Every structure is written in C-alpha cells, then in structure tokens.
Structure 1
Amino acid sequence: MSPQLHNTVLISHLFSNTPNDEDNGNLPSSFTEYFRNYKAETKIISEETTRSIELCLKKGDLQRAKSVISDALRVIDNAPINIAVTGESGSGKSSLINALRKVKHSGGSAAEVGVIETTMKIKSYEHPKVKNLILWDLPGIGTPKFQPHNYLEKVEFKKYDFFIIVSSTRFKQHEIDLAKAIRIMKKNYYFVRTKVDSDLQNEEKCHPQNFDRKNTLKQIRNYCLNNFTGSNIGEPEVFLISNYDLSDYDFPVLMDTLIKNLLAEKRHNFLLSMPNITEAAIQKKYNSTKQYIWLNALKDGVFATVPVVGILSDMDIEKLKKRLNFYQDLFGVDDESLTFMAKDAQVPVGQLKKKLKSPYLLEFKKEETLGGLLLKCLEKFASANGGLLATGLYFTKTYYLEFHFLDTVAEDAKVLLREAYSKK
C-alpha cells in the first residue's frame, strides 16, 4: 500500500464515527467535557466565558463562538499582573523577587541584594520571559519617606493585584496595620517568612544532639503567629520559605494559593512564570498552556475539514519551529538553560541533551518526514481524545504537532528536574 493511500485509510478510520459539518448537536458537551477536567482555580477562562462559548456552540453560531474565544485570548494575552513585595530592610525582598523572576542575583536585571537598605524608592522588575508580569520592590512601611499614614497612597496601592509582606524575623505592628488596610481595600495580602533555611542550620549547630527540623519549623511559625494576637485580623497563613531552595518548605503552597486567588484571565501568564520547582508545578504550567492551545485551535480551526496528512508548507514548518522554541524556553529546556544546568552539574551539555526528546523533534532520518510525524500525532490524539474527534472538533494540522511538542517539552522538563535532584 502506498504511503498516501495508507494515510487516507488511516485518517478515514480515525474519523469514521465523525458526523458531517452540519451535525453539531454534541459540540457543546464536548467543549464542556474538556474544560470540566480542570479545577475551577486552575482554569484560564472564567465560568461566564465558558458558558458564553457553550451557548454559541449550542445555537450553531460559530462566528460568535470564534469572536468570544478571540476576545478571551486577547484578554489573557494583555492582562497585567502587578505584584507588590514589601518588608523591612534585610528581610529578603530582593532575593524573593529574583527567585520569582528566575533571575540570578549576579544578573544585570536582578534586584539588588544587600544587608543594608537597598530599597529607598519604588522599583519595578519585569519578568524576563512573561510579558505583562511586573514585580514591584516597595520600601518597607515606616521608613522615613514612607510613613504609615500615607504609605498606601505613596506606593499607588490600586495598581497591585496583591501584596507579599516579607520578614526574616517577625512581623511588626506597621506590617500588621498594613495588612488591615489592604483587607479594607478588598485586596489580598500574604505574609512570607524568609531565611528559614538559615534558621534551621543555626538551630542544628547550636543543638546538634536534639535538633528536630519539623519542631523547629513549627516554632518559627508559632513565633510569627504570636505577633498577630489581638490584631483583629485573625490568624493569617504564614508561608515559610527559602529564597535559595524554592522546592522546599512552603513556597509551592504559596504559589498554589496565589494561583487560586487570581482572576481566571490572569492565571495563565502567572502560571507561565512559575519556576520548575516540582513536577506538580511543571504539570500546572503544562495544563495552563494546553488550555491556551486548545482555545487557539478552536478559534482557528474548529469545524474545519479533517487535516490531510502530507507536505506542510514552509510557513507551517517555520511556525512550528517558533512554537517549539517557545515551549523549550518556557519550560527551561532551551540551549541557554541547558548550558547553565550543565555548568552547575559539571557535566557536558551533550550528556544532558541525550536524556531529552524535544531537541530532536524536528530532526528526521532519511526515511522520516514531518508528515509522518503528523500522522503519528493524529493517531496519538485520536487515541487520547476520541470522543472529541467523534463530535467534529477538528483543528488545522499544525495544532496536532503543537500539542505533541508541548507534551514532549513538559516531559523533558520533568526529566531535567529529576536529574537536578539526583545531583543534590
């Protein structure tokens, strides 16, 4: 059987139960079914938007559905995220900002780190890879130029999505009063206690015989919480973190809390900014990106004809190369990230690359073609999403490859994470 005839037969088999383009009766349930798989706090579109898309599909108003999806994607792309980080001198604010931006302290765009007061005025730091995400380093409340009575006015309170209040010892009355004011203004705040790794090390040195890590962390937390007694804001959650080991302590919990409390349309960009500290974090970033691809695919190709497996145009191939590079950069599987990791692990870059699949996705042997890869992706997609295919949800052929690229890059990121842990 010729390759072309084989492709035709296989595609016919994959979509044999697919209704014709006019039979859209099951489409709303398919759309609902897909997005229902994600928890409410991790969806990147609001329930209102989801219902609006469903209603358009139910009515058969495909142009309106496309318009609603386009508007939702535009909002996601342009939604600003402004994060305020404040606290006393030496509390670890700048280190936390660098960690959230995945920037080394020695980098040219890093927030200045020092034992003296380095934040005398408001400074902004853009995320190097996620547009519209800015972290603001605010002077601590009570400093000479930022007194409590006009602090919120001076720092332009309204523009921030939430406040992170940082301390390396205990939270003082000024910071507790700030939290009260933030709550009155109906915005979120989070108390973060930094440098717990140093506290644990000091405690172990002082009491090596009866050192208990779990008990020491409990004491640190209770010490912080005791400061809120009688404060009229209850007992807030305090996140214990180390700016130099984000995968440990409460940092993953802090990230989950921030995601849950953000508006749906702001979650995607925030999730993309998350460092690959755990496999769960990588999976959250993957899920968010997959939702985004799905929405783009629906906008560009829903109800299109079944994609023909064959030669992709130069424009298609160039687009795919850019998308692959984007995902590699996003998940830290790009050449620059691999070079840094190899240097830290003191191994050749080639040794790391051998463990990965994404660097070779667009490299083919003589008998292989990009069309052949597309065919494999269609088979895989049909196997995993047969119900959706059976209801007529077709995409332009490049999207099937894009889903494959995302799957591969995310798995590579997990491989690198496991490799990094094995070196510790």
Structure 2
Amino acid sequence: MDDIAFEVITEAEIDEIRRHVDEHGLSGLPGLVQNKMRDWQDVPLSIALVGEAAVGKSSFINSIRGLTADDEGSAPVGTGDVTREPTKYCHPYNEQLVFWDLPGVGTPRFPQDKSYLGRVGYSNYDFFLLLSDDRFTSKDIWLAREIESLKKEYFFIRTKIDDAMESAEYTERDFSESRVLERIKKNCKDNFTAGQLKKRPVYCIDCYDKHKWDYSKLMEDILVSLPELKRNTLVLSLSPLTKGVIKSKTMVLRKRVPMVAMASGIQGACTSLIPIPLLGGAIGVSLDIALLATEVTFYLKQYGLNDESLQELSAGTNKPLDYFKDALKDGSAIMTSRQSVKTFLMNMIKSEAAEESVKRVPIELTRFVPYLGALVGGTANFVTAYYMMIKMIDDLEKDAMKVIDAVIDATSSGVD
C-alpha cells in the first residue's frame, strides 16, 4: 500500500476536546464534532459580478453554482434585460455563499461617479468579478480603478471565448487557438495600461465548458486570494468543477480528520459498542461507525461521487450514467464494492491491522498518546479511524479526477 501523508493534530484541537469532555462529558462529543464540521456554512462570502448587459454574468453565476439555465433558482440567461438593482443568487449548497449581479455603471440610474459603488453596496462584497465579452470598456477601467482605491480584490474575466475561436477559425487562414488567446489578452492588457491600472491577469473562459482555457486557473487564484475561513466556505460549497477545485477540497477535508477520528474513537471506547475484531487475531477496535459513515457520505458529495451528483452530471452533459460508472470501474474500493457506506467501513476496519495503522502515524502524534489512551482506551481506536479517513480522502480524490477526465474526453471527442 502506498505511503499516506497525515495531517498533524494540533494542540488547539486536543485542548478543545479536553475542555469539552471536562465540562460536558463524552455524550455530546459527536455533536460537537458535527457542529464544527458545519462551521464552514456559517462564514458569509459575497461575490459581486459587474459588466455590461449580455456579457455572460448570468451564465457564470449558474456555472459556478453548478446549475443550468433550466434549473430552479438559476439566473435568467439570454433575456437581454438590464439589471436595475443588485440581484442576489445564493449557492444551492450554502446560503451563506452569495453571488450578486450588479447593475452596469454609466446608466441614468447608476451614473459613472463616486456614488456608484456606494449605491451598489460595495462594502458588502468580499471581491469583484469584472466580465466582458469583448474589450474592457472605459467604464470597466474606471470601475477597476475605484475598486483598487478601496483596496478590494477583483478579477478580469473575458467571456464567450468559444465564439471568438469560432469566428477566428472561419476568418483566419492560419488559425491558431494559442495566438487568438494571446491576442485577446494583449488587447485587454493594453487597455489596462492605457487606463493606468496595475498589471493583473485576464482570465479567458467559456461558462459552458469549465475545462477549457482559464476557468480552472481563475478558480485557483480566487481561492488563493481569500483568507482561510472564507476559502474553506467557497471550496466546500463548490461542486468539483475542475481538478484545481478537487485538490483544494482534499486539503480542506484532510484538516477535518483529527477531530472526526478522535470523536469516533472516544464514542466507541466509552459506550457499549462491541469491539470489531481485526484480521489475524489482532485486538479489536470500537468506533462510532455512524459518525464515520456521515463523514464519508459528506466526502462523496464533495467529490461529486454520490449517486445524486453522478446523475446530475449525466443529465448536465447528456451522457449516460454508465459512461461515468465505467470511468470508475478501476477506481477505489468504495466506488466498486456496491456496498453501503456503513458496510464498507465495517469491512475496511476488519481488514486493517491496528498495529499496521500505528506504524503509519507520524511521530508528532505520540506526544498525545497519554491523553488519547485515557479517553480512547489506547490509541488503536483513534489511529484506525484516522488512517481510514485519510486514506478514504486520498482514494476519492483520485476517483474524482477520473470523472473529470471522463468529462473532458467526452467533451473533446463527442462521445455519446
């Protein structure tokens, strides 16, 4: 089995568990952990989109929320209507993550002057996305300068690149996709220089194909720009749009493991749970399987590997469900076993020798062994759960990458 890199449990996490046990006993520990696991849904994150009418703001809002124009709650696409007031669109998985479609600047209702940002409530937004389907206009440049003066983050997004490519392919004798992209970006950056803006990238995207051009890079740079708590909110709210988002999910999910493993081990050791015997006559372990199953079910949804997510992917790509199941036929054991999550975890526990799991845990954990031993009845419970969850995350990340590859292959080859 490949070596697995572990997250190091922190002093703060141990202290939090210790305080809770001292004050409330063990009975409420799983609830504490589950509440902490939902903390990301309590951190508000507001993203403002601005640009002229029909530049693709609604399409982008739907795309990043994992919706199509036909889905309930989606932003209306192709209506040509001008946004008259800031319009709010919550993410379907997390109402604290909000996208705002802002009115374009320079209209009679929202003139290009110092009152604009105040009237659209600029202070309420964490960062701005400036979209254009052609050249960034003088209005866009003015708005960018105002945002810079307020020390707010923003990103330039050039939309409808598929249309630009199609036009160039028909009109240019020596068509080159890379040259078209280079020309588009140079044109935009020349405008920025003329407008005396700081140098920053231009992200060329197609809202309907998240695996082309700069969509993935845009997501990665947005995530890097955010403070940790807001970054976690965005990462765990997004569907697995790109490989970059999937890797970000893995980083966040791994940080949850120590608390989950400790709660499961403590609950298992201090209740009437029957120890699960390990292979080879090794000592059994007592774990809260229900708590672990809830966490793994969350992983499956995060990586887009649960039945509902795969069915939505099938419908959204017009590919049969079996197409994506075939992509996972050589995937991880949980995706190929056809067992319930609880049954799979029980069998996984039985197949893991506790002493083998202990060997794989980093030396940094040993300083907590006395405390773990007192609560968990030895380290076997904690270590087994810890090892299982880390391995599960790493395996599911690989599965999610397989699904992304299948989507890319289908899109590029036209496979039905």
User: Given the two structures, how large is their TM-score scaled by the length of structure 1?
Assistant: 0.74
The amino acid that maps onto 1:222 is K
How many angstroms apart in 1 are the aligned matches of 2:163 and 2:358? 52
Matched residue, 2:197: 233
How many angstroms apart in 2 are the aligned matches of 1:155 and 1:263? 24
Could you tell me whether the CA contact under 8 Å between 2:51 and 2:132 is conserved in 1? yes
How many angstroms apart in 1 are the aligned matches of 2:295 and 2:17? 30
Matched residue, 1:411: 398
Which protein, 1 or 2, shows the higher relative CO under an 8 Å CA cutoff with sep ≥ 6? 1
User: Per-residue deviation at 1:238?
Assistant: 1.4
**Is 1:335 paired with 2:310?**
no
**Is 1:373 paired with 2:348?**
yes
**Worse-matched range after superposition: 384-393 or 106-115:** 384-393
User: Per-residue deviation at 1:381?
Assistant: 4.5
How many angstroms apart in 1 are the aligned matches of 2:263 and 2:152? 34
Matched residue, 2:250: 286
Counterparts in 2 of 1:254 and 1:175: CA distance versus 1, 3 Å = same
Counterparts in 2 of 1:340 and 1:130: CA distance versus 1, 3 Å = same
Could you tell me whether the CA contact under 8 Å between 2:261 and 2:385 is conserved in 1? no
1:109-258 alignment, distance < 5 Å: 109-114=73-78, 116-149=80-113, 150-207=115-172, 209-258=173-222
Counterparts in 2 of 1:132 and 1:369: CA distance versus 1, 3 Å = closer
Counterparts in 2 of 1:216 and 1:352: CA distance versus 1, 3 Å = closer
**Worse-matched range after superposition: 269-278 or 394-403:** 394-403
**Is 1:63 paired with 2:19?**
yes
How many angstroms apart in 2 are the aligned matches of 1:359 and 1:66? 40
**Is 1:103 paired with 2:67?**
yes
How many angstroms apart in 2 are the aligned matches of 1:399 and 1:91? 47
**Is 1:385 paired with 2:373?**
no
Counterparts in 2 of 1:177 and 1:370: CA distance versus 1, 3 Å = closer
SS in structure 1 of the partner of residue 193 of structure 2: coil
The amino acid that maps onto 2:408 is Y
The number of aligned residues is 371
The amino acid that maps onto 2:363 is G
User: Given the two structures, how large is their TM-score scaled by the length of structure 2?
Assistant: 0.76
**Worse-matched range after superposition: 121-130 or 189-198:** 121-130
**Is 1:53 paired with 2:19?**
no
Matched residue, 1:38: none
Structure 1 residues without counterparts, runs of 5 or longer: 1-29, 36-49
Could you tell me whether the CA contact under 8 Å between 1:168 and 1:195 is conserved in 2? yes
**Is 1:276 paired with 2:233?**
no
Structure 2 residues without counterparts, runs of 5 or longer: 24-31, 278-283, 373-378
Deviations 1:312-338 (A, max 9, x none): 999934434433332222211121222
User: Per-residue deviation at 1:339?
Assistant: 2.1
Matched residue, 1:358: 334
The amino acid that maps onto 2:237 is S
SS in structure 1 of the partner of residue 288 of structure 2: helix
How many angstroms apart in 2 are the aligned matches of 1:178 and 1:335? 44
Matched residue, 2:26: none
User: Per-residue deviation at 1:96?
Assistant: 0.7
Could you tell me whether the CA contact under 8 Å between 1:274 and 1:285 is conserved in 2? no
User: Per-residue deviation at 1:386?
Assistant: 4.0
1:30-41 alignment, distance < 5 Å: 34=8
User: Per-residue deviation at 1:188?
Assistant: 0.6
Counterparts in 2 of 1:291 and 1:271: CA distance versus 1, 3 Å = same
**2:276 paired residue among 310, 332, 336:** 310
RMSD: 3.9
Counterparts in 2 of 1:72 and 1:388: CA distance versus 1, 3 Å = same
Could you tell me whether the CA contact under 8 Å between 1:164 and 1:190 is conserved in 2? yes
User: Per-residue deviation at 1:279?
Assistant: 3.2
**Is 1:325 paired with 2:297?**
yes
Could you tell me whether the CA contact under 8 Å between 1:81 and 1:134 is conserved in 2? yes
User: Per-residue deviation at 1:235?
Assistant: 2.6
How many angstroms apart in 1 are the aligned matches of 2:37 and 2:90? 21
**Worse-matched range after superposition: 404-413 or 122-131:** 404-413
**Worse-matched range after superposition: 187-196 or 227-236:** 227-236
SS in structure 2 of the partner of residue 153 of structure 1: helix
How many angstroms apart in 2 are the aligned matches of 1:310 and 1:271? 35
**Worse-matched range after superposition: 218-227 or 149-158:** 149-158
How many angstroms apart in 2 are the aligned matches of 1:310 and 1:64? 27
The amino acid that maps onto 1:63 is R
| Identity, % of aligned positions | 27
Counterparts in 2 of 1:237 and 1:390: CA distance versus 1, 3 Å = same
User: Per-residue deviation at 1:239?
Assistant: 1.2
How many angstroms apart in 1 are the aligned matches of 2:297 and 2:134? 43
SS in structure 1 of the partner of residue 107 of structure 2: coil
